[in-house]
Amino acid sequence: MNVRNDFPILGKYPSLTYLDSACTSLKPRAVIAAQDEYYEEFGACAGRSAHSLARKTSGKIEECREGIAKFLGAKAGGLAFTKNATEGLNLVANSFDFSKRRQVITTILEHHSVLLPLMRLRDEGKIALEMLRPGGDGMVAIEEWELKIDRNTALVLTNNANNTTGIGHDANAICKIAHESGAAVCIDGAQGVPHRKTDFARSGFDFLCFSGHKMLGPTGIGAIAMGEEWVGKMRPFLLGGGTVKSVSEAKMEMLPSTERFEAGIQNYSGIFGLAAACGYLNKIGMGKVEEHEKKLASLLAGALEGVGAKILGNPRAQNHSALYSFNVAGAKPHDIALLLDRKDIAVRSGFFCAQPGLEALGARQGAVRASCYVYNSEQEVKRLGEALQEIGKLY
Amino acid sequence: MVLCIVAFVVLGVMSVFSAKYRPLAKEAFRCVFRTVTFRPCDTGLDDRIKAEVLSRVMRFSLPAARLANRHFQTLSWVFVLLTLGSLAYSALGIYNFYQYGNCDGPQASGACILNYLTSDYGRFSSPTELIAPNDTANGIVAGDLGSNVTVVEFGCFTCPYTKQDEPAVQALIADGSVKYIFKPFPLPGHPYSRDAANAVLCADRQGKSWELRKLVFDHQEACAKGGVLPIKILAENAGLNMTQFDKCFDGNLTSSELDHYIAQGKASHIYATPTFFINGKPFVGVKSIEELREAVRRAKAGR
Ligand SMILES: Cc1ncc(COP(=O)(O)O)c(C=O)c1O
């Protein structure tokens, strides 16, 4: 895959090996241009004013919504814009109706953006929270899900690609189990949506949250896709301009569409950028992206095993992302990351906003994480291996 | 980590001169504060310094880097102690500079260095930059005027080193084999050096410069601290005609002559006293009589 020239930052730092795409991806020129396009050619607000620039903006925003929904295999009518995956996950936790069933099932391996809103609801006595624990392979066995999900379960929340282990649970299978018990499913797609083909409708997810910035899009924009039947049932937790049909002193009537979740003027340039990112990924083809990353994943696993790194989770798991967390020679993760940085290799170190998960996996000090995307090459993975080899000798 | 202490000292000094280092110095300060209150440094500065150091060492020797990594804490302490040591040494130097006008203290052997920061005397600091003076006639002259070896001394009357070398200078003159010329060169860091020089030049007009010169060096500290009054008392003790002396000294009659010598000193790039030119060859700092005689011997031999 030869897309490096599309990323201005790689031109600016030619010797950079960027292996921190799980934190945020780099942005191609097309996305940057699309953002500017809003400011240079549209500039107005959407869904409000009647003048022609505003209408032009509204039209383009809906066009973007369509494009993004299509990218996900979802309906535009179920797509609401958010700041990021975190906002989507908070929206689900805070807007879901737990009055009939109050059990929520998730795993301890989830990102803080999943865990914290749920933990607070638990502490406030609003839900009963069950955090499933992984086995030695870094996965919660499917039997465990079957055992725990029952007719008390209101909501199942998990990811389809984990940001620590790089292993995704089989979201489709979990979805089936949940639906059999009448529970809803929310997928944290922050690490899944950018890297593999998503088919929201076919998978049967009820909610899917993700961030634009991890999929070549701008920061500050994300979206939640939901089954259209959920739109009217969810109680928006942010209210304001653009969310209501009519308001009188005594009463407000919320909009029936997903705009009820989009309070206030939206991040239009971000929406332009996110749509451009989807377009860019479509042009490459998500199949190609998956294929490329599969190759990088197996190389990465090999390189890490070659230097004797302690990898979190089963490195040879099926559908492993090109994302691995590991520790080297008992060294502090930050030290490894800083030494790699001196060799122009950018990786993440620490707890990746998933501290309970890292502790459950036995990485009390945290870990180092290398994650790839479309612009990474096999040589870069090799370079990481060589650098780790050398750094390992210091310990 | 203790390394932050080093970083703080270094960055603190650097941030005085460049705003660029101030945020880093602040970070180092926070880190030091946490270290001395027995909490881990939370700015990450220590880890960044460590990575920077290790990766630099790695570039030329992996085993050295490994050694450094394994004993990083110990090495850090060594650096801290060295830094604190040199800091204390610098502080002593600054104290000496204010107290004695030189960095090494009253009894140190060496030379009185110009205070570059406050002077307009130029910025020379190496003997290789010195230029022999053309004028080997004017000054306070002694010895064998017909000798083929000329010794020019630029000296400062309140510089402890010029004083320290005086016995050797007198011994050399007493050997009777050189032409000796003294050019007063008061250094800015030495109080009343200019007054002492003017007094000796006035005494020279009465043919008694050597008598006053001896007394000034003998009572150097009193002159440096007390100024004009002790200088005048010494002039009287040297047997000078005080009416003439006062007229000369109070009337600044030798001022332009002194300025002339100073200008010559600057033109020669003098940066410390005493500085000797023996047939044009420079010698900076206190020289023993043996060293001076050897230099003269070589000059006589044309080397
Ligand atoms: C699995 C997962 N979920 C959620 C998030 C939160 O994403 P954001 O910070 O963009 O809201 C991340 C980002 O690190 C993630 O990796």
Instruction: Delimit the domains of chain B by residue range.
Output: 2-89, 131-300
Cα–Cα–Cα angle for A367, A368, A372, rounded to 5 degrees: 135
pLDDT digits (tens, 9 = 90+) for B29-69: 888 888 778 787 777 888 888 899 999 999 889 999 999 99
What's the whole-number average pLDDT of chain B? 87
CA of A178 to the centre of ligand 1 (A): 23
Answer yes or no: are the C-beta atoms of A185 and A156 closer than 8 Å: yes
Cβ distance of A395 and B47 shorter than 8 Å: no
The gap between the terminal CA atoms of chain B, to the nearest Å, is 58
Given an 8 Å threshold on Cβ–Cβ distance, is B62 in contact with A393? yes
Nearest beta carbon to residue B51 from set A339, A390, A395: A339
Please indicate whether, in this complex, the C-beta atoms of A394 and B58 are within 8 angstroms of each other: yes
Q: Supply the DSSP symbol for A209.
A: E
- What gap in Å lies between CA B171 and CA B287, rounded to an integer? 12
Closest CB to B50 among A335, A341, A395: A335
Which is higher by pLDDT, B127 or A377? A377
Catalytic-residue membership of A64: no
Reported as a pLDDT band with limits 50, 70 and 90, residue B76 is confident
Distance of residue A394 Cα from the nearest chain B Cα, in angstroms: 4
Atom of ligand 1 nearest to the CA of A352: 14
Best of A389, A393, A394 to disrupt the B interface (most B CBs within 10 Å) is A394
* Domains of chain A as residue ranges with CATH: 4-20+285-392 (3.90.1150.10), 30-283 (3.40.640.10)
Burial B154-164 (b: 16+ CB within 10 A, else e): bbbbbbbbbbb
What CATH superfamily is the domain B131-300? Answer: Glutaredoxin (3.40.30.10)
Which residues contact ligand 1 via a Cβ below 6 A?
A 84-86, 111, 113, 159, 163, 188, 190-191, 211, 213, 353
CB atoms under 10 Å from CB of A127, counted, come to 21
Q: How far apart are the CA of A339 and the nearest CA of chain B, in angstroms?
A: 5
Q: How far is the CA of A111 from the centre of ligand 1 (A)?
A: 7
- State the nearest Cα–Cα gap between B30 and chain A, in angstroms: 19
How many angstroms separate the CA atoms of B141 and A182, rounded? 115
Asked if B66 lies within 8 A of A335 by C-beta distance, the reply is no
Binning pLDDT at 50, 70 and 90, where does residue B107 land?
very low
Provide the CB-side half-sphere exposure for A142 (13 A, CA): 10
Chain A, nearest residue to B66 by Cα:
A394
**Regarding beta strands B150-155 and B275-278, do their DSSP bridges make them parallel or antiparallel, or are they unpaired?**
antiparallel
How many Å apart are CA B24 and CA B14, to the nearest integer? 10
Query: Tens digit of pLDDT for each residue in B162-196?
Result: 999 999 999 999 999 999 999 999 988 888 999 99
Nearest to B219 by CA among B199, B234, B235, B236: B234
The pLDDT value given to residue B11: 85
Ligand 1 atom 7 nearest Cα: A85
B57: nearest CA partner in chain A: A394
Can you say whether the dihedral through the CA atoms of B277, B283, B285, B290 is positive or negative? negative
Which value, to the nearest 10 degrees, does the dihedral of the CA atoms of residues A385, A388, A393, A395 take? -150
B66 with A395: Cβ contact below 8 A: yes
Interface residues from chain B to A (CB-CB < 8 Å): 44, 47-48, 50-52, 54-55, 58, 62, 65-66, 69-70
| A338: nearest CB among B51, B69, B70 | B51
Q: List pLDDT tens digits, range A92-120.
A: 999 999 999 999 999 999 999 999 999 99
Yes or no, beta carbons of A395 and B55 under 8 Å apart? no
B81, amino acid identity: L
In the prediction, which pLDDT does B39 show? 80
- Give the residue on A whose Cα is nearest the Cα of B45: A338
Q: Helix B228-237 to helix B209-218 angle, to the nearest 10 degrees?
A: 130
Q: Which atom of ligand 1 is nearest to the CA of A161?
A: 1
> What tokens were used for A216?
């070549």
Does residue A131 sit in helix, strand or coil?
strand
B289-303: average pLDDT: 90
Cβ neighbours of B66 in A, within 8 Å: 393-395
Pocket test for ligand 1, best of A114, A211, A323 (most atoms within 8 A of CB): A211
Average pLDDT over residues B261-271: 91
Report residue B115's pLDDT band, with 50, 70 and 90 as the boundaries: low
| pLDDT for residue A286 | 97
Q: Closest-CA residue in chain A for B52?
A: A342
Of the candidates A75, A100, A345, the residue with the CA atom closest to the CA atom of residue A202: A75
Q: Which residue among A186, A209, A278, A353 is the active-site one?
A: A353
Is residue A287 within 8 A of residue A80, CB to CB? The reply is no
Distance between CA atoms of residues B285 and A241, nearest Å: 83
Amino acid at A221: I
Interchain proximity B62–A394, CB inside 8 Å: yes
Bridge partner residues of B149 (DSSP): none
Q: Cβ–Cβ of B51/A341 closer than 8 Å?
A: yes
Question: Considering only CA atoms, which residue is closest to atom 14 of ligand 1?
Answer: A23
* CA dist., res. B90 & res. A17, Å (int): 44
Residue B100 has pLDDT above 60, yes or no: no
A162 CA closest ligand 1 atom index: 1
Q: Describe the crossing of helices A268-284 and A52-72 by its angle, rounded to 10 degrees.
A: 40
Distance A193 CA to ligand 1 centre (A): 11
| Helices of type H across chain B | 3-17, 22-36, 45-60, 62-70, 72-100, 160-164, 166-175, 193-205, 209-218, 220-226, 228-237, 242-250, 255-267, 289-300
* Residue A213 near residue A24, CB atoms below 8 Å: yes
What H or E segment, with its residue span, contains residue B182?
strand B179-184
Per-residue pLDDT tens over the stretch A218-271? 999 999 999 999 999 999 989 999 899 999 999 999 999 999 999 999 999 999
The C-alpha atoms of residue A194 and residue A45 are separated, in whole angstroms, by: 28
Span from the CA of A224 to the centroid of ligand 1 (angstroms): 13
**In A, which residues are within 8 Å of B58 by CB distance?**
390, 394
Closest partner CB to A394 (pick from B44, B48, B69) = B69
Please report residues of B whose CB lies closer than 8 A to that of A334.
44, 47
Q: Which two tokens stand for residue B45?
A: 């500065």
Q: In this predicted model, which residue has the larger pLDDT, A111 or B106?
A: A111
CB contact under 8 A, A334 and B52: no
Can you tell me which residue has the tokens 């994302």?
A323
Rounded Cα gap, residues B206 and B239, in angstroms: 10
Q: Which two tokens stand for residue A379?
A: 């040589």
Q: Which atom of ligand 1 is nearest to the CA of A83?
A: 11
What is the pLDDT at residue B116? 54
> CA angle B139-B145-B150, nearest 5°?
65
Main-chain phi, psi angles of A118, to 5 degrees: -70, -40
Contact B65 A338 (CB under 8 A): no
Question: Percentage helix, strand, coil, to 5, in chain A?
Answer: 45, 15, 40
Assess contact for A80 and A224: CB atoms under 8 A.
yes
CA distance B212 to B237: 8
- Residue A285 contacts residue A195 (beta carbons within 8 Å): no
**Residue B101: pLDDT above 70?**
no
Q: How confident is the model at residue A377, as a pLDDT?
A: 96
* CA-CA-CA-CA torsion sign (A105, A107, A112, A113): negative
Considering only the beta carbons, identify the residue of A342, A390, A395 that sits closest to B51: A342
pLDDT computed for residue B268 by the predictor? 92
Report CB contact under 8 Å: B54, A390.
Answer: no
**Chain B contact probe: residue of A334, A339, A388 with most B CBs at under 10 A:** A339
What was the pLDDT predicted at A151?
A: 96
10-residue mean pLDDT series, chain A (395 residues): 93 95 98 98 93 96 98 97 98 96 97 98 97 93 95 97 94 96 98 97 96 98 97 93 91 93 96 98 97 97 96 93 94 94 95 94 94 97 96 91
- State yes or no: pLDDT of B105 exceeds 80: no
Residue B117: pLDDT band with limits 50, 70, 90:
very low
CA distance B227 to B211: 18
Chain B contact set for A393 (CB, 8 A)? 62, 66
Distance from CA of B193 to the nearest CA of A (A): 55
Instruction: Tell me the CA–centroid distance for residue A160 and ligand 1, in Å.
Output: 12
Which pLDDT band, with edges at 50, 70 and 90, does B276 fall under? very high
| Residue B97 confidence (pLDDT) above 50 | yes
pLDDT band at B102, cuts 50/70/90?
low
